[in-house]
Structure 1
C-alpha cells in the first residue's frame, strides 16, 4: 500500500488519471442518488403523515409502496421493460456507447444525462487532483464536488435540497477545516453562520415586501455549507455569481416556457458558483480588480 502511495506522490499524471477513473465510477453512483433519494424521501414523508393521522384516528388515502427501495435495492433495471442491468451493461460511459444509448432488451432510449453526469464527475475529480495533487485536500475536494453535483441535479429535478446532503456537506466542511485544510476554522464557522443568515434575510425581506416566498430553506443551508468550506470571505462572490447566472438563465427559461409562473430552482446556480469559487476565487477577484477597478 505504501508503494502505491509513493508511486502516486511521484507520478502526478497517474494520480490524475486514477482519480478521474474513480470519479467516473462515483458518477455512476451519483446517478442512483439523484434519482432515488427524492423518491426515498417522498416515501418517508408519506409514512410519517400516515402515522400522524392514524394517531388521530384518521385514515389517509395514501398509497405507499411496501417494496424495499433504497440506494442499493432494487438492483439497476430498465425503467421501461424492467429488465435487470447486467454488470457489463453498467460500465460508466462505455456501456452507453456500446449500446448506442438504448436498452439492450427493449431498445428504449436511455437519457444522455447518465453519461453526462459520469463525465462531469470525472472532470471535477481530475480538476481536484490537478489543483491539490496527491494530498488530503484532494480527498476533501472530491467529497465537496460529489455532493454539489448530487444537489445540483436533485434541485433541478425536484426543487428540493435534501437535508441529508446540505447538512452533511456543512458538517464535513467544518470538519475539514478543523486543521485549516482550506480556511481557518474561525472563518469556516463565521462563513456557515453568515451564509445561512444572508439568504434568510433576503428571503424574509422579499416575503415582507411581496407576500411571497422567493426561495427555499435548502438554499440557506447550501450557502451555509459553502461558507463552512470556503470561509465568509467567499460568500459575496458566490451570491453575486449565482444571482447573475440565475437571473440570465431564469429569463431564458421563462421565455421558452408557456407558463411564466413556474418556479425556478436557485440551488444549481449556488452550487455552480460555489464550485467555481472553490478553485478560482482569487483569479476571479484579481481579474475584476484589474479590469473594473482603477
Structure 2
C-alpha cells in the first residue's frame, strides 16, 4: 500500500495538472453529498431535539402533554419515516419522484435537467451546482498549493467541513457541534507532529480562538443587553486556532469582520436586510480561515513588512 501511494504521489508530482483536475472532480462529487448534509443535518437535529423534549414532557409533565397528544393523529415522539443522511433517497420535494443517479452527477446533472425536475418541471435551485462547483474549486486550489501531500488531504477535509458549516449557517444560523467539535479535536491531533503548526501554538490557538469571540460576546451583551453572536462562532474560531495556531487569529478576525461589514452594508443598501436584523457570522469566519490556511503567512509577512 505504501509503495502504491508513493508511486501515485510521484506520478502526481510529475503531472500537477492531472492532480488538480482529479481533485476538482472528486471534490465536486463530495460537494453533491454536502448539499445533502446542509439540507438534512438541521432537520435531523430538530427531530432529535423534539423527541428529547417530548420524552421529557411525557416523563415529568404528563398533565401538559396529554391534552396536546389527544388532539393529534400520531404520537408526538414518532415520525413517519426513517430520516438520516442516506435514507430516504433524494427525491423532488414537490412531486416526490426519486432522482435518477445520472441526474445526481455534480454540476452536469443540473445542467442536463436545465434546472428543472425531470418529472414535474419544478425549478431546482442553482445553489446545488453552486456548492458543488465551489467545493471543487476550493479543493483544486488546495491541490495547486499543497500538491499531493498529507497537508492537502487534511486541508481538504477541513474545506469539506467548512462548506457544510457555511451552508447550514446561511440557512439556519446554526453551526452544529456535530461538525465543529470533531474539527477542533482533529486540528489538535494533526498538529501533534506539527503538520501545520507546532502543538503548543495549536493548543494556545484553540483556547485563544474561543476566548477571543467569547470575550466580545459578553462585552457586547453587558453593554447592549443583546447577544451579538452564537457559541458556534466561538467554536469555529477555536477550530482555526487549533489548525493554524494562535498567530493567525488576528488575521482571521480582521478579515471576517471586514467581509461581514461589507456584505452587511451592501445588504442594507439593497434592502435585502433591515438594520438590526441578525446575519450569520460563521460564513465570514470560514472564508477568512480558509484564506489564512493558504495565504495567511504571506499576508502577515507583507503586512509586517509595510510597518
Residue 281 of structure 1 is aligned with which of 293, 296, 304? 296
Residue 48 of structure 1 is aligned with which of 45, 52, 55? 52
Instruction: State the partner residue of 1:86.
Output: 100
Question: Post-superposition shift, 1:8?
Answer: 2.5
Distance 1:258 1:194, change over 3 A: closer
1:64-103 Cα offsets, whole Å, 9 max, x none, are 5241010000001111111001111111011111111111
Structure-to-structure mapping, 1:202-241, within 5 angstroms: 202-241=216-255
Question: Post-superposition shift, 1:104?
Answer: 0.6
1:123-177 Cα offsets, whole Å, 9 max, x none, are 1111111111111111001001111111111101100000011111111111111
In 2, distance between residues paired with 1:72 and 1:258? 35
Residue 279 of structure 2 is aligned with which of 264, 268, 280? 264
In 2, distance between residues paired with 1:4 and 1:278? 25
Instruction: State the partner residue of 1:111.
Output: 125
Number of residues of Structure 1 aligned to a counterpart in Structure 2:
292
Question: Post-superposition shift, 1:198?
Answer: 0.6
| TM-score normalized with structure 1 length | 0.95
1:48-79 Cα offsets, whole Å, 9 max, x none, are 11111111133166575241010000001111
Residue 70 (structure 1) aligned with residue 70 (structure 2):
no
Moved more, 268-277 or 50-59: 50-59
Moved more, 14-23 or 161-170: 14-23
Distance 1:253 1:191, change over 3 A: same
Residue 37 (structure 1) aligned with residue 51 (structure 2):
no
Query: Contact 2:241/2:249 (CA < 8 Å) preserved in 1?
Result: yes
In 1, distance between residues paired with 2:241 and 2:8? 34
Unaligned 5+ residue runs, structure 1? none
Unaligned 5+ residue runs, structure 2? 70-75
Question: CA RMSD, aligned part only?
Answer: 1.6
1:238-280 Cα offsets, whole Å, 9 max, x none, are 0111111111211222341364342111101100000011111
| TM-score normalized with structure 2 length | 0.91
Question: SS where residue 268 of structure 1 aligns?
Answer: helix
In 1, distance between residues paired with 2:33 and 2:202? 29
Distance 1:257 1:21, change over 3 A: closer
In 2, distance between residues paired with 1:264 and 1:254? 11
In 1, distance between residues paired with 2:263 and 2:123? 28
Residue 18 of structure 2 is aligned with which of 6, 14, 18? 14
In 2, distance between residues paired with 1:269 and 1:240? 10
Question: Post-superposition shift, 1:113?
Answer: 0.6
Residue 134 (structure 1) aligned with residue 165 (structure 2):
no
Query: Contact 1:43/1:64 (CA < 8 Å) preserved in 2?
Result: no
Instruction: State the partner residue of 1:183.
Output: 197
Query: Contact 1:46/1:64 (CA < 8 Å) preserved in 2?
Result: no
Instruction: State the partner residue of 1:172.
Output: 186
Query: Contact 1:27/1:117 (CA < 8 Å) preserved in 2?
Result: yes
Question: SS where residue 106 of structure 1 aligns?
Answer: coil
